[in-house]
Structures are given as structure tokens and as C-alpha cells.
Amino acid sequence: MKGHFHLFALSAAFSVIAINTGKFSLFLGAWFLWLVYLYFSKRINFVLFVSAFFSFFFFHHYFPAYDPAAVSRPFPENKTYTFTGTIVSDIERSEEKLSFTFLENQTETKLNVVLFDDDERNKRFPYTYYAVCSIKGKFLTPPEATNPFQFDMRRYWFEQGIAGQIIVESAEDIVCTNRNHVLGAIYTFRKNMLQKAKETLHPELSGWQQALIFGDKSGIDEGTEMLFQRWGLSHLLAISGLHVGIILTIVYFFIIRIFQWTKEKARLFVLMFLPVYALLAGGQPSVWRASLMAVVVLIMQWKKWKLSHVDMLSIVFLTLIIGDRHIIFHVGFQFSFLVTLGLILSHEWFKQAENRFDLGLKISFIAQMMIVPLQMHYFFYFQPLAILLNVFVVPYFSLFVIPFCFVSLTFSYLPKYMVTFLETFFLKLNQFFIDFIKAIDKMVNVPFVSGEISLFTACCYYFFLVMMMIALNKKRHRNALLYGLMLTATLTFIIVKPYISSEGLVTMLDIGQGDAFVIELPYRKGVFLIDGGATFDFQTFEPKDNVFQHVIRPYLMGRGIETIDAIFVTHADLDHHGSIRYILEHFDVKEVIVHPYFNLEDKEFKTWRQLGAKITKANVFDEITRNGHSFYVLGPLDDKRDENDNSLVLYTEIGKAHWLFTGDIGKEVEREIASLFHFLDVDIVKVAHHGSDTSTDEQFLKTFRPKYGWISVGRNNRYGHPKEEVLETLETYGVTIFRTDEQGAVQFIFDDEKAYIKPFLNQ
């Protein structure tokens, strides 16, 4: 077994990739061939060969495989029940909600309990781990993704082993009896420590302390968090080996130098401290990886056992996945192990480093390169310059910020003037540093928007990376350069792919009640949007960014889109133009095209101006040609003195089909267009106004005879769209209907030979 633990860790890793990609036989085959190679070159014996091979099957059954059809619903949805069970997690508190995991007694399933109640009471929520509760709330299964590249909440919960959610209205609906449990005590201790830090320290310092020592990021300014995320620095905000290492160094220093303990005693203390610390630090997988790794190292020193680093990492990996099979789906877990493995395997290369800077660069390079395909898979981009920035930021954090935050735990015992002095020093210096990163962010923020990465490309990437690293290890620099070039070529291929693809798409995104269409021409000759709606707050009428963040942005990034050639905004209603401001902020938009009667006082319009958008007014009968593609403006003919009727009506040919985008026009305007443009062929019509009965005129349908009608409409919307009579009318005229509320996003996919319509949800 010794020297071979990694075989089982890899077997688990491969089987989970096989589960996620659905390529069972491919991975099993590769696994088998590799083991055969190891066996015949006498690296492993027959027992190892057989057990490693069959462990693949074991893990394949061990990890839960997501099947949307087979997701169990232990309770009917949307009904209020009283559930009884046990709290089995720490209580997570944020500004607007409180949540925890709950083991329900009857079904023995784990449920996520959420209490949306910004009342002071929930802050004082007195219950903790292992409390027995009766909870009155509504059962919900988490929503599934209905758009390409959208984060799939249902899958996420499933992979975390949670069967559903209980939404609780008021803190009074949760009645528990606390029971003693060591975990409960630790969690309570953590809560008190956090509370104490908040009370005694400057809020900014306490925010950093909470994040870097206790693994609670809620105190970090959101802008800073996003900044760190953009620049591949998030690993600093999640507690990992770096943090644990620094904290252990400080603890060791104190107990050996100051308290004069013996080394053996110190080791025993640290061994007991580590698991407790992992819990105090929020119990994220990266903390567990780092703490358990330290535990293994210490035990080995103690017992004088010898194990290779890869063995140690594998043992920690296997311990964690056997402890909780769901942890393997955790993004932080995957990143953490992949980076550590890369660093371990590169030790020979690190030895070749000429100086500290060189070493820092090498470490940063490996850490970033290891996760590129995963980063692309989850986030659709990566930041190449992050490698350089890390070289500066990591030492700053490890030498200053993290030790300072740890030492600041003692600040409540220091005199006030000293605390104020130290705090001011920290805040000034840290502000300077964050401003420095912000300045870099402004100057050279050039993320590499890759879109979704295919399994094949990811395999090529890792193959060339491994070959390059083998060559570098052996100082075969010419080979290393060759493989490095192949690696670069692979990455280049990822960006160039859309430009050499003959496939084009028209996508009706499912954004709920509202419109958002994305048109992508073949060979990426042009990317156009027609509308970008948002949901909005019914009191303030402010657009929310959730549609943008959860639907529009992931779709565009998933397709590797950074530049939008033009956005047509049909009219000034938030369900059609609420997300435009966010799109302008995050993407390179060349032009926004609106109808001629657009209200210049419209708040969104003003925001766009401030964001520097170039705005064009399109008049009826205009032919708008952008990137060689023409859109014909069929309306509005004149000012209808009604925003819906003033909608920009667009006619265009895409993928040999003729399209009519109608915005929210009413029946009268439809008739007007039908009589003016009766000679036009229409294959696909965007059904006006989400299927409202004020639109979809019979005369209009009779004139154009469209084959397909696309309806963008919210599930169970408050207007009752689409209306039954509209659907009947469409049916009478033989129009095949596609609708977002039932089918999710709808895509028209075409190339030179064929074209087809594909709804995201198959029903």
C-alpha cells in the first residue's frame, strides 16, 4: 500500500469525472490501461492491480450521480408542514437570512432550512448544532437550471446531499431543545469569538480577521471580494495550507519560546488543536485538507514513519471523501487538492530556482496552471496575469496580513491607544495595497474569456502541461519549450474556436417574465442582443441584477463572448431593458440601438449614457447593417404615445429563416405592420408581449403565416401570460409554440446544411 495510496485517490477522482462527464467507459478504459502498464512494468503487484481496478467501480457507486429525472421529492412542494429533526450544521448568518442543515426524522433526509427574517430575533437565534427542533415551513425543491451555462441549483443541492429546502417565515416557527455536543460547543465558541472581534476591532480589520482566521468572508467588502476573484486571489480569502501553516508557526513559536514547552508536548497540543481549528475556521474543505495534512505530518514525525508527500496528500484525500462523499463535488476541494498535487510534483523544479522571486514565480505558475481547465469549466474565464500578481500578493498576505489578523485576536487585552495605533497602521498599509491591486485592475484587466471547455480540450491541456513539466524537471528546456508552445496552442484554440465554427445560434433566454435574445452569427461574425430584461423590485422599480448574474452573464461567458456588436432595445420597460446597464458594465458593447421616441429622461437611458454607451436611434424603414448582417426596422411607424406600441419591430434573416421580433406591440400595431409589410416571409415570430391577449392579432397571423411562435414568459406570472386565447389563435394558424416557462431557454441552431430548434428542457 505504501507508495501507492495515490492509486486509490486517483481512482476516486477519475470515477467522479466519469460520473460528471458521462464518459464511464472512456475513463475506465484509460484507468485499466494505466494499471496494466504499471503492473507489467512491475511497479505494482497483482493485489494492488486488482484492488485499484475495482476501486473504480466502488467509487463510481459511492459518489451520487445526478439524474434530474430521479431527484427525490420527499414532500409535496410549496406546502406548509411541521418538520421534526436535528440541526446538523453550524448556523450560517448573513444580513438578510439565517440557514442551517436539518436532518428530518421521518424521511432521514437532509434539508436546508432558510429563515428570511431580518428581525433582530434571528441574530439572537439561540439554537446550535445537535438541537432537536420542530420547524414550521414550506417545502421547496431548489430550482433547476433552465438556461445553458446557468448554475444548476438543484444539481448543486443534490451533490451536497440535500433533498430540498424549508422556507421559514418567522423565527417563532422554529422551536428547538438544545442538546450538548462537542461540535455545538465549538460552533458557539466560534460565534462568540466572531462577535467579540466585531465589537472590539475596527470593522474593516475584523472583516479581514473573520475571513482569514475564521473562514467567514461576510465581513469583507464585496468590491474587494470580486476584485480578488477576478485576479485569481480568492484562494487567499479561503483558509488553506498557507493560513494554517502561518498560524501553526506562530502557535509553535509561542508555546516553545515563550511558554518553554518541550517539543513533544507542543506537538501533542498542536495535534489536538488542528481539528478544533478546522471547525473554528468554518470547516471548509480547504481548511480540512490543510489541517489534516499537518496532522499527518506531525504524526509521522512523532512515530518516525516515512511516507511520500503524494501518499500523505492521498491519505488526506481518501479520509475526507470517506468521511463525506459529497465533499468531492466541492469546487474548493477540487482546486485545493489539484494545486497541492501540482506543487508536490514540482519539487525538483522548484529546487532549480535561482532566487526567491524565481521560486515565487514558479510556485504561482504551477498553482495557476493546475486549475485552468477547472476554472474555465466553472467560471468560463481565467486571468493570465494572475500568475504575476500572486507573486506579489501572496508574500504580502503571508508575511503581514495573515499574521497580523491572527495576532489581533489578543487586541482585546491590550490598552486602547495601542490597539488604535496598530489598527491605523494596518488599515493604512492595507488600503494602500488594495488600491494598488485596484489600479492594476483598472489598467490591465484582460481576462481570458474562454467559454465552456470541452473534455477533449481539457485532456489535451493536461497532457501538454504534464509533458512540459516532465521536461522542465529534467532540464530539457528545448522539449519544455515545445510542449509549452503546444499548451499555448491549446489555449489559443479555445479562444479561436468560435471564429472557425460554422455554427450560428439564436437563443431566447429564459429570464422569467421578460425578453432577452442573443444572436450569434457563424464564425463569430457578429453578436447581437435583442432586449435584456431584468426582474425588479415592485416598490422601488429598481432593476435587480439577478437575471444578469444568473442567466445573461453566464450564457455570454459560457459562449466565450466578450464583445457585443449591438444591443437592440425594443422599448423602455424594465422587463426588456433592466439588465442593459449591467451588460454595459461588464461587456464591451459597441452600440445600443433604440426606437426614435425613446424617453431621454428614462432612468436606465441616463445610466447607459453615464456608462459611455454609444446610442443610436433606429427609424422605420431603416436597414441597419452591422458586421455585414442586416436588420430591417418595421416599426414604430410614428409615435404611438404608448411605450409598448412604440416597440422597435425588427425583421431579419438568420440561418435561412426569416425572423420577426415584435417587442410588446399591441394588436393595432400588428395590423399596421401586416398591411405595410404583407409581402414579407416570416418563419419565426417572437410572439408580442409575452402572449398577452392585447397582442397576437388574427389578421397579423393570417398575413405572415409564421411556422413557429416563440414566447418569452415567466412561470406562474402575475399577468396570466400567455393567455389561453392567444395560444388557441396561434394553434388555429398552425404555429408551433416554444415557450420559456415550460421549455426553458429555446435555441435555434444552424449551419450551412441544417437548422433545428432545441429547447433547453426536454418535456
Q: Pick the closer one to another protein by CB: 250 or 318.
A: 318
Q: Give the interface segment with another protein, choosing from 36-44, 212-220, 256-264, 631-639 (CB under 8 A).
A: 36-44
Q: Which of 65, 153, 242, 310 binds another protein (CB under 8 A)?
A: 310
Residue 656 lies near another protein (rule: CB under 8 A): no
Please list, in sequence order, all residues whose beta carbon lies within 8 angstroms of the beta carbon of residue 454, skipping any fewer than 6 positions away.
Answer: none
Phi, psi of 403 (to 5 degrees): -60, -40
| 3-state secondary structure at position 501 | coil
User: Smallest distance, Å, CB 300 to another protein?
Assistant: 10
Residue 17 lies near another protein (rule: CB under 8 A): no
Pairing outcome for strands 657-661 and 708-711: unpaired
Q: Measuring CA to CA, which residue among 394, 400, 403 is closest to residue 356? A: 394
Q: What is the DSSP string of 261-282?
A: --HHHHHHHHHHHHHHHHHHTT
Query: Cα angle at 90 between 143 and 112, to 5 degrees?
Result: 20
Q: Show contacts with another protein in window 99-128 (CB under 8 A).
A: none
Residue 459 lies near another protein (rule: CB under 8 A): no
The whole-angstrom separation of Cα 310 and Cα 8 is: 12
User: Smallest distance, Å, CB 60 to another protein?
Assistant: 22
- The answer to whether 666 and 645 are in contact (CB under 8 A) is yes
Q: Show contacts with another protein in window 165-224 (CB under 8 A).
A: none
Residue 470 lies near another protein (rule: CB under 8 A): yes
Q: Which of 172, 348, 623, 731 binds another protein (CB under 8 A)?
A: 348
Which residue is associated with the grid cell 462568540? 192
Q: Which of 73, 123, 356, 474 binds another protein (CB under 8 A)?
A: 474
Residue 41 lies near another protein (rule: CB under 8 A): yes
User: Smallest distance, Å, CB 6 to another protein?
Assistant: 7
Phi, psi of 445 (to 5 degrees): -75, 90
Residue 549 lies near another protein (rule: CB under 8 A): no
Q: Give the interface segment with another protein, choosing from 127-135, 260-268, 326-334, 345-353 (CB under 8 A).
A: 345-353
| 3-state secondary structure at position 502 | coil
Q: Give the interface segment with another protein, choosing from 1-9, 557-565, 582-590, 599-607 (CB under 8 A).
A: 1-9
Residue 466 lies near another protein (rule: CB under 8 A): yes
Q: Pick the closer one to another protein by CB: 318 or 345.
A: 345
Residue 762 lies near another protein (rule: CB under 8 A): no
Strand-pairing partners, residue 165, are: 112, 140
Residue 331 lies near another protein (rule: CB under 8 A): no
Residue 486 lies near another protein (rule: CB under 8 A): no
Q: Give the interface segment with another protein, choosing from 304-312, 398-406, 671-679, 690-698 (CB under 8 A).
A: 304-312
User: Smallest distance, Å, CB 356 to another protein?
Assistant: 22
Q: Pick the closer one to another protein by CB: 444 or 485.
A: 485
Q: What is the 3-state secondary structure (H, E, C) of 683-735?
A: CEEECHHHHCCCCCCHHHHHHHCCCEEEECCCCCCCCCCCCHHHHHHHHHCCC
Q: Pick the closer one to another protein by CB: 43 or 544.
A: 43
Q: Pick the closer one to another protein by CB: 17 or 761.
A: 17
Phi, psi of 291 (to 5 degrees): -65, -45
Q: For 171-175, which contacts have Cβ atoms below 8 Å and span 24 or more sequence positions?
A: 171/115, 171/117, 171/119, 171/121, 171/122, 171/125, 173/135, 173/136, 173/137, 174/113, 174/115, 174/125, 174/127, 174/133, 174/134, 174/135, 174/136, 175/133, 175/134, 175/135
Q: Which of 155, 179, 202, 309 binds another protein (CB under 8 A)?
A: 309
| 3-state secondary structure at position 109 | coil
Q: Which of 347, 477, 705, 715 binds another protein (CB under 8 A)?
A: 347
User: Smallest distance, Å, CB 366 to another protein?
Assistant: 10
Size of the site for another protein (CB under 8 A): 23
Task: Name the E strands within 453-526.
Answer: 504-508, 516-520
Q: Which helix (H) or strand (E) holds 129?
A: none
The whole-angstrom separation of Cα 529 and Cα 84 is: 49
Q: Pick the closer one to another protein by CB: 468 or 518.
A: 468
Query: Letter for the amino acid at 754?
Result: K
Q: Pick the closer one to another protein by CB: 182 or 466.
A: 466
Contact residues for another protein (CB under 8 A)?
A: 2-3, 6, 34, 38, 41, 43-44, 306-310, 344-348, 466, 469-470, 473-474
